[in-house]
Amino acid sequence: MAVEPVTGLDPDRIRSNLEAVRAVAGEVEILAATKYVPSEEMEALAEGGITLVGENRLQDLEAKRERWDERFEWDFIGNIQSRKLKRIIPLARLIHSVASDSAVEQLHKHSAPDTRVLIEVNLSGEASKGGVPPARLGEFAERCPAVEGLMTMPPFTEDPEASRPYFARLAELAAEHGLKQLSMGTSQDWRVAAEEGATIVRLGTALYHEVEE
């Protein structure tokens, strides 16, 4: 199903939503997911106080950085095609989704001193989702350079509480392996993610649209 681009963004609404999230999430970093935000709408994000954005596709990251480079910090949050990782590394502050042996190989070849990555963990066991199985995390993390933490995407649900066990388990795994960063939580469940120790939440609708109290 095609998803419509996010257009007509209102900087005042974004600022209000951002302040509301910060009031609850505290020191958690707030990343604006911009996969569906056209380049011409990025100005509204900057005016609304957004400083950190996350892109899912290399070509969009390249194009938006070319136009808006100094306005934001840039993370890469999409599925990684290992052959493109060489180009992603110098563009991204943090790469959220390392999950394959081929990506680890590319990191060994191309990572720089300031490269920072998160390992994506598949806690639900869904075949449709990427991520390292928890049982493989230890050996995978030992081989992965520049790793600072973990990321996960629990099964989609309209009930935020259904995500809590996945977030709690990710926090346990991070603690077991001495990792500090936890990228978890999206617009429907970021509050629960923050309660379970998220250091970064990835938000779209919660920042861009009217939010029901």
Domains present along the chain, CATH in parentheses: 11-203 (3.20.20.10)
Confidence band of 127 (pLDDT split at 50, 70, 90):
confident
Query: What does the pLDDT look like over 77-108, one tens digit per residue?
Result: 999 999 999 999 999 999 999 999 999 999 99
Report whether 132 contacts 99 (CB < 8 A): yes
Q: Locate 149 and state its tokens.
A: 């933490």
Over residues 190-199, the pLDDT tens digits come to: 999 999 999 9
CA distance 129 to 126: 6
Q: Looking at residues 70-81, what average pLDDT do you find? A: 97
DSSP-derived secondary structure for 106-169: HHHHH--TT--EEEEB--S--TTS--B-GGGHHHHHHH-TTEEEEE--PPP-S-GGGGHHHHHH
The reported pLDDT for the residue numbered 211 is: 60
Which residue is listed with tokens 């933490």?
Answer: 149
Residue with tokens 């978890």: 184
Decide if 209 contacts 27 (C-beta within 8 A).
Answer: no
**What pLDDT score does 74 carry?**
98
